[in-house]
Amino acid sequence: MGVSNSTERDYTHRTARGSLIGIEVVDIHTKQPIYRRFTRIRYAFPPRGDRRWRKPEPLPPDWIFSNGNNNPRDYSKFGAICPQTGIDDAVRPEKWAEGESNEMDEDCLFLNVWTPPGGEGPRGGWPVQFDVPGSGFQRGSGMQHTFLDPVDIFRENRANPRIVVSPNFRCGVLGFLASEELRIDSEDSKSDPYAASGNYGLWDIRMAIEWTFNNVFLFGGNPYNICVGGDGRTTAFQLHFDAFHPSGRSIIRRAFLFSGAVCVQPAVAQSTKPRAQFAELCDHLNIDNDTLPSKYTVRLLRGVSAEKLMSVVQKMDTTFDPITDGQDGFIPTDFMQSIWSGALGRRLKERTIQVLIGDPSGERCVYERLMRKREEGIIQGFPRIVQNRQALITSLSAYYPETVVNALVAKYSIENKDWSNIHCDIMADVECHAAVRGFAHGLAKGGMTAQDVLRYHIAWKCKALDQYIDPGTGVCHAMDVPIWWHSGWRAGFSERDKQDVLNFTEPFARFLRGDISARSGWGTDVEADVRLLCPDGAVIVGKDPLWKSKLEVWNVVQNAQRSRHVRGGSAGSTKTLPTMSTMYELA
């Protein structure tokens, strides 16, 4: 079990909006407080009943933290997470905390706040690190696992503390169901400002960001120094929305994209996969989707219990993903075009926004692992062993548009005929390796420099982690967490391991604060440079060895989409499962 060397005691925090009873975590050796934690803070109304499959509704202006008697309310225990179906997890939770579990309920729109343990913060307040959760849009929570406890981040950064905020959000079928019926229901509900055709989980995270902007000062945070990041794909959508926000209200000052970005324009609600998902869901629930008017179909679906929905989803061999919802939606039809053209980069440059982005060396392994687990019948939503070229095309077509699939298969199968390996290579590149490099290249087209876009690559893995994370996953995105959150401190990292990690991440801590020295401290001078954590733990800066080859993949995907004049999706769909793969050995 991971050891945090800390204990807990109650702590009452008083604000202009009432009082909260949270937890103060104390170092068992020094007896000094490490951080204060306030959990289950509601940021929106429960998305139940008629609020299911609608944008989150904000709390009223007169909401307070205290209870009905104006006494401090208990915020010491984590709130429910969105009902979600599990897949075999590479992280071994029993090794981090025995019996760890989270209650699941549709009433899940809570966030968690970690603050420094007192003392006077900098002028304007402490910097804020907003963690974007995500696990392929199918699962996730607001850092409600010991694996993600930031206790050692606060220990190692006592001199330069930060506030950490992380929300629960709707995921899977409750967060990303989308189809023509929901779009029509939205059009029939034009007087309802919360009607939407999909992307509910993305709207949740945005509302949590806005809640943080409006309220973090109550915890000593600086609302004008918010750094947003985490899951790379989800963060890419949030960053784009913030940059082109209709009201011009930009909140994000810096962003970090871990182990992913977006390479393919998401499908529209009317396309094949979302429509098939909706029809299959109705079929399992004996709802006559063919003859009932759409609004009645949706009404019946909203009446199904979350437990029943989860039991049905477990029978469906699919995943629920973001869609292109166009004007007034979250993802516009020109999302990818704005990256290709440099428009996003120009907007970020104008606003002096910095972006940190990178990947681990071995994302491919996770797809091999998922394929094995599917073959064993342990998981759904991922293909079995791929036997031939047509099977490869069929499998990938569940993830990407036909033109993209054909272009990728043509590129990867010139010399290699191991179809399962090709499948894993393509997924790792499109979801991670090519995506992060292409996204960074798109920002550079808008005028952002190597000091504006800080790139990294991780090729290091601590052997001690094999007890805590399936060693078969190689150097994958699951290995990011013990590095960025220092949770490896409780997973057997030696003093040398800790020092290697600190050498690598120290400029990241400055980046989070908004310290201008992070630009020079990162060390990259030109676009192709990368800050590398080597297999032996050394930290070097130099030419990215994957830059050219992965940009070629990005260009193949880009050209295939442009050839169809796609601006809002296609008959295919973007599928974003967790990404991990074989370790890429760097000298």
Q: What predicted TM-score, i.e. pTM, was given to this entire model?
A: 0.92
Three-state DSSP class for 508? Answer: helix
- Which of 512, 522, 486, 519 is CA-nearest to residue 122? 512
pLDDT tier for residue 137 given thresholds of 50, 70 and 90: very high
Supply the pLDDT for residue 78. 96
Cβ neighbours for 111, distance < 8 A, ≥ 6 positions apart: 41, 43, 142, 165, 166, 167, 168, 208, 211, 212
- Which of 468, 516, 386 is CA-nearest to residue 93? 468
Higher per-residue confidence, 519 vs 97 = 519
Neighbouring C-alpha atoms within 13 Å toward the C-beta of 161: 25
Q: Which of 196-210, 252-266, 435-449, 504-518 has the lowest mean pLDDT?
A: 504-518
Beta strand 126-132 with 354-360 is: unpaired
Instruction: Supply 307's token pair.
Output: 């437990």
The answer on pLDDT for 573 being more than 70 is no
- Between 389-396 and 419-428, two packed helices, what is the crossing angle to 10 degrees? 30
Supply the pLDDT for residue 578. 31
The answer on pLDDT for 25 being more than 90 is yes
Higher per-residue confidence, 535 vs 380 = 535
Supply the pLDDT for residue 581. 26
pLDDT tier for residue 545 given thresholds of 50, 70 and 90: very high
pLDDT in tens, 144-196: 988 889 999 999 988 889 999 999 999 999 999 998 788 777 666 667 888 89
Q: Which of 182-196, 278-292, 512-526, 561-575 has the lowest mean pLDDT?
A: 561-575
Beta strand 73-74 with 18-27 is: parallel
Report the mean per-residue pLDDT for the chain.
Answer: 89
> Alpha carbon of 558 to those of 94, 268, 332, 529, 564: distances in Å?
42, 18, 17, 23, 10
- Helix %, strand %, coil % of the chain (to 5): 40, 15, 45
pLDDT in tens, 459-501: 999 888 888 777 777 788 878 889 999 989 988 899 999 999 9
pLDDT tier for residue 371 given thresholds of 50, 70 and 90: confident
What's the one-letter identity of residue 351? R
Higher per-residue confidence, 293 vs 57 = 57
Instruction: Supply 492's token pair.
Output: 């057997």
Supply the pLDDT for residue 1. 35
Supply the pLDDT for residue 188. 65
Supply the pLDDT for residue 564. 67
Supply the pLDDT for residue 22. 98
What is the distance between the alpha carbons of residues 188 and 176, in angstroms, rounded to a whole number? 20
Rg (CA), the chain: 23
**Domain 6-91+124-563, architecture per CATH:** 3-Layer(aba) Sandwich (3.40)
Three-state DSSP class for 104? Answer: strand
- Domain chopping of the chain, boundaries: 6-91+124-563
The answer on pLDDT for 98 being more than 60 is no
Supply the pLDDT for residue 550. 98
Three-state DSSP class for 375? Answer: helix
Q: What is the DSSP letter of 399?
A: T
What is the distance between the alpha carbons of residues 555 and 558, in angstroms, rounded to a whole number? 5
The secondary structure of 193-213, three-state, reads CCECCCCHHHHHHHHHHHHHH
